Amino acid sequence: MIKYLSEYRDVELVRVVIDEIKRTITQPWVMMEICGGQTHAIMRYGLDQLLPPEIELVHGPGCPVCVTSLELVDKALAIASQANVIFTSYGDMLRVPGSDQDLFSVRASGGDVRVVYSPLDAINIAQQNPDKEVIFFAIGFETTAPANAMSILQASSMNLMNFSVLVSHVRVPPAMHAILSSPLNRVQGFLAAGHVCTVMGYWEYVPISEQYQIPIVVTGFEPVDILQGILLTIQQLEQGLYEVDNAYTRLVTYNGNKPAQKVIQQTFTTCDRKWRGIGEIPSSGWCIRSEYASFDAEKRFNVEGIHPNESPLCIAGEILQGIKKPNQCSAYRISCTPENPLGATMVSSEGACAAYYRYSLEEI
Amino acid sequence: MCLGIPGKIVDVYTANDLTMGKIDFGGVVREACLVYIPDAKVGDYTLVHVGFALNLISEQEAQETLELLREISEIEEKLGPSQ
């Protein structure tokens, strides 16, 4: 029994919420779970199999490894390949294909690529290796931003000049705007990413809900949490309402974590950002503020001659926008597998293709 | 990466000028930075992402959610099974 985990995996409670969803729904609805962690939980627990057929779940762009642009992956590979460098990253990033190779193959060729659990681990490595350049690959949405930002502030206060950060931060609200304003959009309700909202609160979603007249429900990651998020979304859709609601109250407040937001603002500034497979989304990223430019790996390592070359078969962009499902891809399970991925969505523990590959019950 | 894990704070201390803590995740104890939850104390539950505690878990809110679901269950029993 793990407190705050077992209760939300309770079979009886799952049945209760499923029954209530069935009782409430009268017509088909399409909703998107923003976060790839939610996609994996849905597939892992087979929640999609338990839900009534009227509900179609499409999978969102909330997979930081998947949306990190190919240019930036190629830059990471170029920096990691240099001599006298220790390149640190969250583990998920190592198998993500760049144009020609991945971080694993850089390591196999003798590069010093290390997996860290926290950016503070990268700070420790920099302290212990003063004669090496230590780079941390700071990817992620709003959830990892407080940690990544703190590593920059720590390096600054410790005057740790051999430490720098390759930043690929992305934000959820601009991605929702991009999805909703697309002529191909089918999404009628959103399950917002609960852990992003732990940091940011959900005040940012109120104008989105009003502008596009769409329900947005802050949703957690356990089976009961996800089903409760779906239930609250369905209740709004069936009544013709569009509001921002919170199905994850034990961790999320309207205003979010103010100390964390303050550190993010102190360290990062909003910038345009390219999303892999999707393209540039205005104001969708965070970049290092000029005060901390000396810790910006893109400025410290002037990597030239990057010519990104994406697999022509991979449809990750359409999958990340909820336009297609992984099993609608001609390469899925055939030329694209977790061992030999064509795109990052087949790699990440938050990627939709990896979730389908690992948990889907479909015939092979 | 965004899958945080709930754990119980079992120790609070300072290292490199940062408030840090030992967090018990159902028997596995790991270190996390507590700088973003300044009110944290031993015995509280928190959610940790990439080595940082991002919020305290509200016991009251957790109970209210479970109560609400149990109420639905009681109403369902009175109404009988769904289709």
Instruction: Indicate whether A260 and A231 sit together in one domain.
Output: no
Confirm whether A243 is domain-assigned: no
Residue A81 shares a structural domain with residue A167:
yes
Which DSSP string corresponds to A63-121? -HHHHB-HHHHHHHHHHHTSTTEEEEE-GGGGG---SS--HHHHHHTT-EEEE-SSHHH
Q: Given this model, what pLDDT does residue A362 score? A: 62
Q: What pLDDT does residue B83 have?
A: 47
Nearest to A344, CA basis, from A118, A92, A101 = A92
Any domain includes A309: no
Please identify which residue in the block is written with the tokens 């790699």: A347
pLDDT in tens, A325-347: 999 999 999 999 998 899 989 98
Higher-confidence residue of A150 and A309: namely A150
Percentage of the residues of chain A whose pLDDT score is greater than 90: 89
CATH classification of the domain holding B17: 2.30.30.140
Q: What are the distances in angstroms from CA A345 to CA A97, A283, A305?
A: 10, 23, 26
Give residue A321's pLDDT: 87
Under the phi-then-psi rule, with left for phi > 0, alpha for psi from -120 to 50, and beta for the rest, what region is A189? beta
**CATH classification of the domain holding A209:** 3.40.50.11750
Residue type, A84: N
Q: What is the pLDDT of residues A170-211, one digit of tens each?
A: 999 999 999 999 999 999 999 999 999 999 999 999 999 999
Q: In this complex, do A154 and B16 lie within 8 Å of one another by their Cβ atoms? A: yes
Is residue A347 within 8 angstroms of chain B, CB to CB? no
Domain encompassing residue A79: 66-171+256-300
Give me the mean pLDDT over the A153-162 stretch.
97
A12:B73 CB<8 A: yes
If asked whether residues A35 and A123 sit together in one domain, one would say no
Q: How many domains in chain A?
A: 3
Tell me which residue range forms the domain holding B30: 5-79
Task: Give the pairing of strands B5-15 and B45-49.
Answer: antiparallel
In A, residues 234-293, which contact B (CB 8 Å cutoff)? 249-252, 257, 259-260, 263
Residues A181 and A135 both lie in one domain: no
Mean pLDDT (chain A) is 94
User: For the segment B25-73, what is each residue's pLDDT rounded down to a tens digit?
Assistant: 888 999 999 999 999 999 999 999 999 999 999 989 988 888 888 888 7
pLDDT tens string A314-330: 999 999 888 899 999 99
A195 inside domain: yes
Disruptive mutation site among A14, A45, A94, A250 for chain B (greatest number of B CBs within 10 Å): A250
Do A84 and A161 lie in a common domain? Answer: yes
Mean pLDDT on A300-309: 85
pLDDT score, position A247: 97
Pair (A167, A184) in one structural domain: no
pTM: 0.93
Q: Let me know if residue A118 belongs to a domain.
A: yes
Q: In terms of domains, do A260 and A284 share one?
A: yes
> Are B33 and A118 within 8 A, CB to CB?
yes
How far, in Å, CA of A338 to CA of B80, rounded?
Answer: 45
- pLDDT 10s digits, A88-131: 999 989 999 999 999 999 999 999 999 999 999 999 999 999 99
Domain count, chain B: 1
Residues A213 and A327 in one domain: no
With b for 16 or more beta-carbon neighbours within 10 A and e for fewer, the A288-307 pattern comes to beeebeebbbbebbebeeee
Query: Residue A360 CA to chain centroid, in angstroms?
Result: 21
- Domain containing residue A135: CATH number: 3.40.50.11740
Q: Would you give the distance in Å from CA A353 to the centre of its chain?
A: 14
Handedness of CA A251, A252, A257, A258 (dihedral sign): negative
Indicate if A157 and A272 belong to the same structural domain. yes
Q: Does residue A164 share a domain with residue A73?
A: yes
Both tokens assigned to A357: 């590959």
pLDDT for B74 beyond 70: yes
Task: Using the 3D structure, point to which of A246, A267, A300 is the last residue of a domain.
Answer: A300
Quick one: which of A269, A264, A273 has its CA closest to A293?
A269
Question: How many CB atoms neighbour CB A196 within 10 A?
Answer: 27
Query: From CA A74, how far away is CA A104, in angstroms rounded?
Result: 13
Q: Which two tokens stand for residue A201?
A: 């609160």
The dihedral through the CA atoms of A357, A359, A363, A364 has a sign that is: positive
Q: Which residues in chain B are closer than 8 Å to A232, comparing Cβ atoms? A: none
Over residues A210-263, the pLDDT tens digits come to 999 999 999 999 999 999 999 999 999 999 999 999 999 999 999 999 999 999
Q: What are phi and psi of A170, to 5 degrees?
A: -125, 160
- B 11-70: CB under 8 A from A: 16-18, 25-26, 33, 35-38, 45, 47, 49-52, 54-55, 57-59, 61-62, 64-66, 69-70
Q: Is pLDDT at B4 greater than 80 in this prediction?
A: no
Per-residue burial over A69-83, b = 16 or more CB atoms within 10 Å of its CB, e = otherwise: bbbbbbbbbbbbbee
DSSP structure string for A298-349: HHHS----------SS--HHHHHTTSS-GGGSTTBTTTB-SSS-SSGGGTST
pLDDT band at A310 (very low <50, low <70, confident <90, very high): confident
Q: Both A84 and A204 in a single domain? A: no
Average pLDDT for B9-31: 94
pLDDT at A238: 98
**Residue A364 pLDDT > 50:** no
Interface contact A229, partner B, CB < 8 A:
no
In a domain, residue A308? The reply is no
Angle at A146 between CA A145 and CA A149, to 5 degrees: 75
A250, part of any domain: no
User: CB atoms < 10 A from the CB of A172, how many?
Assistant: 25
At A3 the pLDDT is: 81
Between positions 42 and 101 of A, the ones with CB within 8 A of B are 62, 64-65, 90, 92
In chain A, which residue's Cα lies nearest the Cα of B38? Answer: A259
On whether residue A307 sits in a domain, the answer given is no
A185 and A104 in a common domain: no
